[in-house]
Amino acid sequence: MTEQLLALLPIYGLPLLAAVTGLSCLGLPLPASIVMMLMGAFAAAGDFNLTAVFLTALGAAVLGDQTGFAIGRLGGGAIVSRLARTPTKQQALASAQKRIDTHGAVAVFLTRWLLAPLGPYVNLLAGATAFSWARFTFYGVTGELFWVGGYTGLGVTFSDNVMSIAEIVGDLSGFLAAGVIALYLGWRIVRIVRNSESRA
């Protein structure tokens, strides 16, 4: 699917960039980072306006984040419970909840770009846990500036080798998210073992 989507990018350009970026912020498994990098490469070649690429991706990312937050605020616990039925999503939700509980605004900021795979879960949980909308918006937009600027900038800078860079960066992001989840699960196991030992 990724190849077909990327083949449509030169034809549909900015609307496709907006759709992929916004929907990825809602948790759909779409290659938003790769699309932003390719659009940056197209802008470097003069095929698209760089400012339009940046603003389109930023606007779509912020809209996706805000939609996820609103869904969490309106649907709250019911949506979170439904998502927690699958083990993978349950782990991601638990990790996202830990980040919100311990780091709040920093978690929102970091899950926009550095730990992007956790972003959609943080959006839902921030809304469901009555996290301040103003703080969510400020730190979310700030983080999205890093995400969109970083990937678009990589596309402009490495336009000749953009697919190689995309593969490396995509792998790194996935490894970071998996590492966060593994650390959280390890921490939980240690707590459970210590609690059971103290009761014995």
pLDDT at 173 over 70: no
Answer with the residue of higher pLDDT: 28 or 160.
Answer: 28
Write out the two tokens for 85: 């039925």
How many whole angstroms separate alpha carbon 171 and alpha carbon 150?
A: 16
pLDDT of residue 170: 67
Q: pTM, whole model, 2 decimals?
A: 0.78
Percentages of the chain per state (helix, strand, coil), in multiples of 5: 90, 0, 10
How many whole angstroms separate alpha carbon 127 and alpha carbon 181?
A: 21
pLDDT at 98 over 90: no
How many whole angstroms separate alpha carbon 133 and alpha carbon 1?
A: 35
The H or E element that residue 139 is part of is helix 133-157
CA angle 16, 170, 138 (to 5 degrees): 70
84, 93 Cβ separation under 8 angstroms: yes
- Dihedral of the alpha carbons of 3, 17, 32, 38, in degrees to the nearest 10: 60
How many whole angstroms separate alpha carbon 121 and alpha carbon 97?
A: 8
Total tally of structural domains belonging to the chain:
1
Say if residue 107 is exposed, middle or buried (CB neighbours under 10 Å; 0-12, 13-18, 19+): buried
pLDDT at 101 over 90: no
| Selection from 20-34, 116-130, 153-167 with the highest mean pLDDT | 20-34
How far, CA to CA in Å, does 144 sit from each of 55, 116, 192?
11, 10, 36
pLDDT of residue 1: 62
Our measurement of the distance from residue 43's CA atom to the centroid of its chain's CA atoms, rounded to an integer in Å, reads 23
How many whole angstroms separate alpha carbon 15 and alpha carbon 57?
A: 10
What mean pLDDT do residues 128-150 have?
Answer: 94
What mean pLDDT value characterizes the chain? 87
Of the pLDDT bands very low, low, confident and very high (cuts 50, 70, 90), residue 92 is confident
pLDDT of residue 200: 64
The amino acid sitting at 196 is: S
Residue range of the domain that includes 139: 2-199
How many whole angstroms separate alpha carbon 56 and alpha carbon 23?
A: 13
